[in-house]
Amino acid sequence: MDTQYQIQLGSEKNINSVNVDNYIKIKLSQKIDMFTEYDSTNVLDVTTVYDKERQATNIYRIYGKIQFISLLNRLRNDYKILSDIFLPKLTDCKTLINSFDFYLVKPYVSGYTQINISSINEYIRKFEVIGIIDNIEIYTAGFSNNLFNDNDYSFNINFDVDVTNYYDNFNFPITELYLYAQYKPKNNGNGYSETTYLTRFNNTTGEPYIEPFSGKTLNIGDLLYGDLIQYEKNIFYQSQLLPQDYYIKTPITSGSTVVNIMWQYNPFLELKLRYLSDDLKTANISGTTYDEVASIPNYATNIDNNGNYVWRDILDQGFIDPISGIGVDYPFVNKKRYLFSNLILDVKPYLDDYRTSVIFSQIKYGTPTIYNNKTNSDLNNIGKPCV
């Protein structure tokens, strides 16, 4: 409690002192005032405030599900002969978790390689690592199986991804990130080890070819060789021409010889953040009003030396184009957009490889049993068991 003090009157201190009232007097009065109009009619529009905050943020929390669809899934770790790849196991087997390292990557801001054909605007794209192994949490999804009755997997990127300042080589705002899956080769137990390859593109013609590739542990800022894209400057548009594919060579014992089975998969799994509008916007900064110049976004492309710019707007969150059907509507909570992606990682036999094609062409699945028995049920028995 505060210490209480008693004030002594002045006349008690000295005969010549005057008593003073030390309390402040507050004058109370009544007066009627009118409220101003805005005080009585101003309404806070929560929906408008929410939408402004949603559109303004570029921070994402990314999570989702991965379906691992492949003969390699649940394959024994020490497979030696051809029949081993058709005998899945429940324990001590290959899984998504022990067969791949995952990273989060984005299109790199520079360094794309242009194909040396003047009439075709083709480029080899690069990707930059922005999330390492420790940032990607992979675990078995509960009560979720794929069409082959194998477990699905859940993933979670355990940091906030702010894409505000992310642009690619052509100054496009980043509209997608990628979960990059790097396969970890293993010794099959027969004295031979798996090897990996990737697709390269000829710098002159753009034609793809396969080249040996050795994976390694990646760090933030490392670059990856990517896919082949086409860029049209005058219409502010780019599209993928050929994806990047990785290959796995698996040595298998066949009788007294060893043959190699080739597997193929796309290591870049797309995480769609947002879309650019189909409508092309144009403007000229010479002789236009300030409002028109201010409406040109910082990522617009100057297509000539006369001040002509082109761009496409980023579609608002929650808007789905009624014609094209494109758009995203991710939940917005705590100043973040929550992106859920359902991804499929399919590792399939590479049948363009001669040996692999021969091996799989010899697989026989047996003769199916055909039942021709007709039922005795009629319309009165709809919903009842067939007989």
| DSSP annotation string for 85-100 | GG---SSSB--HHHHE
For residue 201, the model assigns a pLDDT of 96
pLDDT single digits (tens) 281-290: 988 887 666 7
Res 387 pLDDT > 60? no
Res 365 pLDDT > 70? no
Instruction: Considering only residues 5 and 329, tell me which one the structure prediction assigns the higher pLDDT.
Output: 329
**Average pLDDT of the residues in 175-200:** 90
Burial grade of 171 (CB within 10 A; 0-12, 13-18, 19 or more):
middle
Decide: helix, strand or coil at residue 114: strand
For residue 6, the model assigns a pLDDT of 73
pLDDT single digits (tens) 112-148: 999 987 667 899 999 999 999 999 999 998 888 877 7
Res 378 pLDDT > 70? no
Sort strands 195-201 and 332-333 into parallel, antiparallel or unpaired.
unpaired
Res 355 pLDDT > 80? yes
pLDDT single digits (tens) 209-245: 999 999 899 999 999 999 999 999 999 999 999 999 9
pLDDT single digits (tens) 31-90: 777 666 555 556 677 888 889 999 999 999 999 999 999 988 888 877 778 888 888 887
- As a whole number of angstroms, the distance between CA 228 and CA 206 comes to 8
- As a whole number of angstroms, the distance between CA 80 and CA 15 comes to 117
- As a whole number of angstroms, the distance between CA 249 and CA 365 comes to 24
Instruction: Give the chain's end-to-end CA distance (angstroms, integer).
Output: 90
Instruction: Considering only residues 32 and 361, tell me which one the structure prediction assigns the higher pLDDT.
Output: 361
- As a whole number of angstroms, the distance between CA 252 and CA 261 comes to 7
User: If you search the block for the tokens 């989702």, which residue do you land on?
Assistant: 64
For residue 178, the model assigns a pLDDT of 98
SS3 content of the chain, % helix, strand, coil (to 5): 15, 40, 50
Q: Which residues contact 218 (CB under 8 A, 6 or more apart)?
A: 101, 103, 129, 132, 182, 224
